[in-house]
Structure 1
Amino acid sequence: MASLNFNDQDGVLRSIRDAPPTHYTLKIESLSMLTKNSLEKYESGEFEAGGYKWKLVFYPNGNKSKNVKDHISLYLVMAGANTSQIHCGVHAVFRLFLLDQNTSNYLVFQEQKERRFHAMKLDWGFDQFLSLKDFFEASNGFLMDDTCVFGAEVFVSKERSTGKGECLSMVKDAVMYKHVWKIDSFSKINTDCHDSKTFSSGDQKWKIQLYPKGKGIGTGSHLSLYLALADPTSLPRDTKIYTEFTLRILEQTHQRHQHGKGKYLSNFCQTVCSRNSSFVFYRVTSFWFSASDPERGWQKFITLGFVSQTTMGFLLKDTCIVEAEVTVHGISNAL
């Protein structure tokens, strides 16, 4: 290793030592097969240091995404971090190793200052860890019998809470999805809440919830209707989904649901009449759905007396038709 000539890189300390890396060793046999099999990088398994999980990422021909040429690249990556750990910056000092198999000594790379690993920067390391010329030079002992050995030490110095953050992604040209739910044997529903089959809109699963005898202040006097996330537990705690939706009960006698002829009133129920006296009851609103707030609707959607009137056509041969139009306009995730 005495013949190595390094380009000056500010803040990088290089040393030679005989003690092996404390936390992890990565031995790669048949290195040439990585290139032959078009593997631009190799990610090690996870290892623990300082109460956190880490892994090494090795680019045998350089990290092309960083325009690295004629060098190998090596990085330390924070792995398996939970939400609270990602929110907080984990500060660590780390060293990356390369074994000289001729002398059993290690070439050690270390940055002079600690690095902060967080949600938007989970990896730190060296784009130009070592030139390919020096790496392949037999006298240096880094690559022998197509085998090389890397290593890592990670020392977590402290954690600093930097406060919470979020990223809002609005959907350009959001697509509305319509779901029609036909409910047979309406009068025989014997549960407080009756759920539709799940359907998808905006990469989320949804369902309609109908309370045939009402809910809350609507109990006994109104039919209650809600839109709900089908599996709210699958959402990360701080994820919110901004959604506009319409819920309708359709008139079936004339099968004409021309709500477009009327004027929508947000958060309010409206009756729309056509020349054939057909009706549509609907409500429109928008809401931020989340795991802690997975449903939105109306306890007093429509009176039970109005639904049961045969002349209205909302209940025909004990069948009711409910329709939902759902448009996801944006998603907010924690940083």
Structure 2
Amino acid sequence: MANLEFEQDGVSTPFSYTPPTHYTLKIESFSLLKKLNRFESGEFDAGGYKWKLVVYPNGYKKKNAEDHISVYLEMAGAESLETGWEVFVDFRLFLLDQNKGIYLVLQDANLNKMCLHVAMLEVGFDRVIPLKSFADASNGYLIDDTCVFGAEVFVCKERRAGKAECLPRINNAVIVSKENNDFLHKKENNDFMNKHVWKIEEFSKLTPERLESKPFNAGGQTWKIVLYPKGMNDVKDTHVSLFLKLANPEKLSTASKILAQFTLRIVDQLSAKHFFRQASHCFRASSPSFGWSNFIMLGFFKERDKGYLVMNTCVVEAEVTVPS
């Protein structure tokens, strides 16, 4: 294996023959992933919290890490925690050398505990490895367009502080025509984004546990928004659950994968401070939906001054981008 240079200060890079304890992410089509700026894994549990791995396949540009792989650990479901929370973690991220069957381990060189809070939901490494070195099969990290990442997360300390408030930022805001709730945008990189608006009336009188929007098209596929008005599974009666799903997964072959980057949003009808979440996911016939069971707390959603439920009506939006 070639001698690799890791350019981020304060990072220790030992090797391990033992797989990561808490989570492994295998990406079988990295070339497709490179069409996205950011990819989020599914959620996993560790230390009593939910987490995700976040991969920037072309580097995290805000950290001036172009031409590198950037990998981060992100806390999921933080909006369900008490205000003013802090969680201190000892974490390690992994990258598999498939030639030797060993893992490169990325960790703080001084073994410092990292503090996560409402203003900092992710920690990680800006410059894990140069893209040129990563793509060199002799290094073993990308073989047949496949790579493997992993994570270990150990919670060291938790703390609650005073009240806090966060106003989410909305990127690339779009004005919706009242005459047409479905429309298609062609972005500069030739990917296609479709935005679908779903108006749900008489919300408090809904009796079905699960609602589905009308089908809409994006990237040559048909999609639906799925909403559980009173939540599902372990968050039933405490949250609203929201998902994006393929409308006709049975039409896909078992080997087909649809890589999509999407935003699900509940519209603030009073002041446009919308509540939203974003993700990237490979949709398959065996895994046709992705989203959040704990999308938003039910009590918070129903507060009159938030604007999410006005005249017993809510508005849900989905923006779906499928690489061309």
- Structure 1 length-normalised TM: 0.50
Q: Which residue of 1 aligns with 2:135?
A: 136
Q: Is the 8 A contact 1:43 1:56 kept in 2?
A: yes
- Report the secondary structure of 2:155's partner residue: strand
> Which runs of at least 4 in structure 1 moved beyond 4 Å after TM superposition?
236-241
Structure 1 residue 94 corresponds to structure 2 residue 87: no
Q: Which residue of 2 aligns with 1:109?
A: 106
AA partner of residue 300 (structure 2):
L
Q: Which residue of 2 aligns with 1:16?
A: 15
Q: Is the 8 A contact 1:74 1:129 kept in 2?
A: yes
Query: 2: CA distance between counterparts of 1:80 and 1:42?
Result: 17
AA partner of residue 90 (structure 1):
V
AA partner of residue 65 (structure 2):
V
Structure 1 residue 235 corresponds to structure 2 residue 300: yes
Show CA shifts across 1:102-125 (max 9, x none): 110000001121111111110010
Query: 2: CA distance between counterparts of 1:34 and 1:3?
Result: 26
Show CA shifts across 1:123-176 (max 9, x none): 01011111112211222100101100000000000102222223689xxxxxxx
Q: Which residue of 1 aligns with 2:293?
A: none
Paired-residue identity, %? 53
Q: 1:68-217 to 2 correspondence within 5 Å?
A: 68-85=65-82, 87-111=84-108, 112-166=111-165, 201-202=270-271
Q: Which residue of 1 aligns with 2:32?
A: 33
AA partner of residue 75 (structure 2):
M
AA partner of residue 89 (structure 1):
E
Q: Which residue of 1 aligns with 2:215?
A: none
Query: 2: CA distance between counterparts of 1:30 and 1:233?
Result: 37
AA partner of residue 131 (structure 2):
L
Structure-2 change in CA distance of 1:238 and 1:51 (3 Å): farther
AA partner of residue 69 (structure 1):
E
Q: What displacement does 1:34 show?
A: 2.1
Structure-2 change in CA distance of 1:134 and 1:161 (3 Å): same
Q: Is the 8 A contact 2:7 2:127 kept in 1?
A: no
Q: Which residue of 2 aligns with 1:43?
A: 40
Query: 1: CA distance between counterparts of 2:304 and 2:31?
Result: 44
Q: Is the 8 A contact 2:8 2:125 kept in 1?
A: no
Q: Which residue of 2 aligns with 1:269?
A: none
Q: What displacement does 1:233 show?
A: 6.1
Query: 2: CA distance between counterparts of 1:29 and 1:240?
Result: 45
RMSD (Å), alpha carbons:
3.1
Q: Which runs of 5+ in 2 are unaligned?
A: 169-268, 274-296, 310-324
Query: 1: CA distance between counterparts of 2:135 and 2:270?
Result: 53
AA partner of residue 127 (structure 2):
Q
- Report the secondary structure of 1:19's partner residue: coil
Show CA shifts across 1:243-298 (max 9, x none): xxxxxxxxxxxxxxxxxxxxxxxxxxxxxxxxxxxxxxxxxxxxxx9x9xxxxxxx
Q: Which residue of 1 aligns with 2:291?
A: none
AA partner of residue 96 (structure 2):
L
AA partner of residue 46 (structure 1):
E
Query: 1: CA distance between counterparts of 2:16 and 2:167?
Result: 48
Query: 2: CA distance between counterparts of 1:64 and 1:235?
Result: 34
Query: 1: CA distance between counterparts of 2:271 and 2:305?
Result: 13
Show CA shifts across 1:68-112 (max 9, x none): 212011000000124435531011010000000011000000112
AA partner of residue 130 (structure 1):
I
Q: Is the 8 A contact 1:40 1:61 kept in 2?
A: yes
Q: Which residue of 2 aligns with 1:57?
A: 54
Report how many residues are paired: 185
Q: What displacement does 1:239 show?
A: 9.3
Q: Is the 8 A contact 2:83 2:160 kept in 1?
A: no
Structure-2 change in CA distance of 1:91 and 1:236 (3 Å): farther
Show CA shifts across 1:224-243 (max 9, x none): xxxxxxxx9653699967xx
More off after superposition, 21-30 vs 111-120: 111-120
Q: 1:293-332 to 2 correspondence within 5 Å?
A: none
- Report the secondary structure of 2:13's partner residue: strand
Q: Is the 8 A contact 2:5 2:129 kept in 1?
A: no
Query: 1: CA distance between counterparts of 2:128 and 2:23?
Result: 18
- Structure 2 length-normalised TM: 0.51
- Report the secondary structure of 1:117's partner residue: strand
- Report the secondary structure of 2:118's partner residue: coil
Q: Is the 8 A contact 1:135 1:142 kept in 2?
A: yes
